Structure 1
Amino acid sequence: MSLDLTAHFSRFLGAAPGRIHLAAHSHHYWPDASASGQERAWADAARLADQKWSTVFEEVVPAVQQAIAARLSLPDPTTITFAPNTHEFLKRLLSCFPADRPVRILSSDAEFHSFSRQTARLEEDGLIVVDRVTAEPFDTLADRLCEKAAAGGHDMVFVSQVFFSSGAIGPDIAALAAAVPDPETFVVVDGYHGFMAVPTDLSAVSQRIFYVAGGYKYAMSGEGACFLHCPPGYGPRPRDTGWYAAFAALEEAGGGVGYSRDGMRFFGSTFDPSGLYRMQAVFAWMDEIGLTVPAIHAHVLGLQDRFLAGTEKEKIVPLTSARLVTPVGANVNRGHFLTFETPDAGSLHRRLLAENIVTDVRGDRLRFGFACYHTEASIDRAIKRIASVLRT
């Protein structure tokens, strides 16, 4: 399915018309509709001042919860809570476990820095123990990870839905959850590269897994709008807690620190709500024009195939000779970016950027990200520009 949504992204596209942006996986453009959300946040702050929080929690938060739940097939929107970034959620999740022994975690060696850096630091002090399964080869990862999970002995299983360094799809979420023998083990799925990119149905595992993602990438809403789906009963009293986590418990009698029973138990404290306003506006825009995640995904996969065919046709040797890390093939699903492994990744990135062609580099991996604001014609133009730069 091919889309042309350029008219809906006129402000970002018009702000730098000479830029070729192939890093949607890193910093996704925002649709024009998001500006109305930003303006509403400012207007509400001016109009309501101290009383704006009633509007935030009674109108904006429920609307965004409903929209996220609909796109993930979650039965109860109130299981969703918010934070400015996913790192807050990781710290809060880790604070749910006993403090008298190391937390035992099963994960992969391909997780994003919010997880990998924090866990590496906690390992240095002996506060956690992480069993990391090698992500590659991807075609056997699911079996290897489920086998480790089935052995038990973990407090948490943490894995990406789509791996940030490759675009490869992670293990089947339901199968992984089913493989964990201890019902008290936290199963946490990092959905940042999956949400709003890969069609996702969590209805079968909504009572079992945590799912964390945000608005910076494919949700097209920018910074400060991350969310966590919290399965009922898991982590009722995180030690890392902000006063918003007590909203539903403020009037309860009894001693001790009170917590909400829904997803709000993982909330923090005062935050900038403008990201949620933008996210609400983006979801409303999508509903208005009938734009769905499956339609975006089909469009992006088609653009990726077109890009790969173009690199072959134009004989862009630095790319055609590199290892394509992202699995590509008949009936092979993948995320919204292509990853080329080459020792020249850094220099290729710099050469392209010097010509206003934006990509992304991670070590020896050069990443090209595609989005709903790209068209077939814009990809064809990009290929011509890339070929002219990398041939010289």
Structure 2
Amino acid sequence: MSPMTDISPYRQSPNVLASHYEDASVGLKLLLTGHVQQALPDIARDAYSEHWQYVSKYGHECFDLQFDQSLRIRDAFAHLIHSKSHQIALASSIHELFIRFLSCLDITRRRRIITTSDEHPSILRQLVALKKQGVELVVLDSQPAATVTERLADALTDDTAAVCVSTVNHVTGQRIDDLDVLIERCHQREIELFVDAYLSVNVLDFNLQDNGLKQAFVAGGGAKYCQMGDGVCFMHVPPHRNLSPTITGWYGVFDLALDSPAKEPLIYADIVASRFDGSTKDTLPHFRAEKVFEFFKNQGLNQALLQAINQHQISVLLKTFHDQDFDPDMISAFAEENNVGSFVAFRTSHSQRLQAQLRDIGVICDNRGDFIRFGPAPYLSDEQLTDAIIALKETVSMIKK
């Protein structure tokens, strides 16, 4: 292993990063919700006072300063996924970006949208709701995960407007591969592809170039592996496209001081990604994001290192699970290491009860349906991960009695 990916300081107890998360007490708790919400480093606290200074001291001029800061956030997210700053739209949630994406589709001409059964509710709930407006929604079974992209591609028809899929199954943690093949098939039929990459960005070896997704809409955000908290999400908008979202806020046109945002015909910004920016938003999350981006850079937490740490942690969780010889009638590992994305899901009909009892003894995880999910984070040591699985074994044994 090269020095760039030497993970030994992150395996030891205490983890070398733990001292940077004292407010979250990551060295004292077993926080296995890395796939939902990771702890924020202590440095993010400074963002609150800086934001207060901006909004209280500069009055209306704070907007110019905040737009400049947003540009820095665009640059940072673009760097993470190998996009370009002018192709990055920002919003407070994936849902906001998704509905603006949907509003670009010509549903009067093509009424079919294809997705899978395990998409995040931000996407799947909205698509189900659109059925009331006459959209033909095709929901393919997410299992087996190995054939998802192939089955999505086979389901394409001339009346398909879009395909919506994730890079990692948000329920089971399985990777969804071969999206480069899917985008090519979509491109041939002029079908848009929306990719939810939230569970890949800043934790797996994911970027637009290597995954062949420059011509897809690719969304992600800060609450999970970027450790920025809620309120800052992004979407890569494909280049060389003349797209005009119907759901458009006053940020969709510039210069705001010179142009009338609502005059007819509507004027859209020359930078296509800006058309998806929406409207006035709370900029505090951008202040946090800037602090955390700086923290990751100063700590040398690049994507290669973060992936090496994550995949080692996945291996520790699975190995410990198998070594503990769980009763397969009670609980089982749903996917093996070579098919796991960024977190581990265990199948059990007792998921809700197990999650609640684990929380009571200080192991914080979550559950979805018949799955209990363990998501590691780079500030956890091997000892903490092992302790979490041992606690799971004890909890399963108590329920079995």
Q: Same fold (TM over 0.5)?
A: yes
Aligned-pair CA distance for 1:143: 2.1
Specify the alignment match of 1:334 in structure 2. 340
Preserved CA contact (<8 Å) 1:85 1:225: yes
Contact map agreement 1:339 1:368 (CA 8 A) in 2: yes
Identify which of 69, 92, 97 aligns with 2:100: 92
Matched residue, 1:153: 159
Matched, 1:372 2:378: yes
* 1:278 paired residue number: 288
SS in structure 1 at match of 2:149? helix
Instruction: Give the distance between the partners of 2:121 and 2:220, measured in 1 at CA.
Output: 14
Q: Alpha carbons of 1:110 and 1:235: their partners in 2 closer, same or farther (altered >3 Å)?
A: farther
1:65 paired residue among 70, 74, 93: 74
Q: How does 1:240-279 map to 2 (within 5 A)?
A: 240-248=247-255, 251=258, 255-262=264-271, 263-279=273-289
Q: Which residue of 2 aligns with 1:81?
A: 89
Cα displacement (A) at 1:334: 2.7
CA distance in 2, matches of 1:271, 1:80: 16
Per the alignment, residue 8 of structure 1 pairs with 20
Question: How far did residue 24 of structure 1 move?
Answer: 1.3
Corresponding position: 1:108 with 2:120: no
Cα offset for 1:38? Answer: 3.1
Give, in angstroms, the shift of residue 18 of structure 1. Answer: 4.7
Note the C-alpha offset of 1:281. Answer: 1.2
Shift of 1:43: 2.2
Separation in 2 of the partners of 1:152 and 1:194? 30
In structure 2, how many angstroms separate the alpha carbons of the residues matched to 1:316 and 1:346?
A: 18
Superposition CA RMSD, Å = 2.3
Q: Structure 1 residues 388, 324: CA separation in 2 closer, same or farther (over 3 Å shift)? A: closer
Displacement of 1:121 in angstroms is 1.4
Decide whether aligned partners of structure 1 residues 34 and 153 sit closer, same or farther in structure 2, where only a CA change above 3 A counts: same
Equivalents in 1 of 2:31, 2:242: separation in Å?
Answer: 41
Q: In the superposition, relative to structure 1, how do residues 18 and 85 fare at CA in structure 2: closer, same or farther (>3 Å)?
A: same
- Number of paired residues? 382
User: Shift of residue 249 of structure 1?
Assistant: 7.0
Q: 1:29 to 1:87 in 2, by over 3 A?
A: same
1:144 equivalent in alignment to 2:151: yes
Other-structure match for 1:203: 209
In structure 2, distance between residues paired with 1:274 and 1:356:
30
Cα deviation, residue 353, structure 1: 1.6
1:152–1:182 CA contact under 8 A, matched in 2? no
| 2:4 aligned residue | none
CA-CA distance at 1:229 after TM superposition: 0.9
Gaps of 5+ in 1: none
In 2, distance between residues paired with 1:158 and 1:234? 19
Contact 2:107 2:161 in 1 (8 A): no
1:244, distance to aligned residue in structure 2 (A): 1.1
| Equivalent residues of 1:336, 1:371 under 8 A apart | no
Distance 1:236 1:139, change over 3 A: closer
The alpha-carbon distance between structure 1 residues 249 and 174, as it changes in their structure 2 partners (threshold 3 A), is: farther
Deviation track 1:42-96 (CA, whole Å, cap 9, x = no partner) reads 22222223221111112x112111111111111x211111111111112111112
Greater shift, 39-48 or 283-292, is seen at 39-48
Deviations 1:94-117 (A, max 9, x none): 112336456321211211101111
Mean alpha-carbon deviation: is it higher for 260-269 or for 196-205? Answer: 196-205
State how far apart, in whole Å, the 2-side matches of 1:32 and 1:50 are: 30
Determine if contact 2:110/2:161 at 8 Å carries over to the other structure.
no
**How many Å separate the matches in 1 of 2:161 and 2:110?**
10
Instruction: Give unpaired runs (5+ residues) of structure 2.
Output: 1-6
Taking structure 2 as the reference length, the TM-score comes to 0.88
Work out whether 1:163 is the aligned partner of 2:172.
Answer: no
Maintained 8 Å contact 1:102/1:129: no
Residue 321 of structure 1 deviates from its aligned partner by 4.8
Deviations 1:297-356 (A, max 9, x none): 2112211221222233334447x852322x324xx2532211111111111112112222
> Retained in 2: the 8 A contact 1:65–1:80?
yes
- Percent identity over the alignment is 25
Q: Residue type of the partner of 2:122? A: S
Question: Taking structure 1 as reference, are residues 147 and 352 closer, same or farther at Cα in structure 2, changes over 3 Å only?
Answer: same
Q: Deviations over 1:359-381 (max 9, x none)?
A: 11111111111111111122133
Report if the CA contact (8 A) 2:44-2:292 is conserved: yes
**Contact 2:365/2:374 (CA < 8 Å) preserved in 1?**
yes
Residue number in structure 2 paired with 1:44: 54
| Structure 1 match to 2:238 | 231
Partners of 2:359 and 2:275 in 1: CA distance: 44
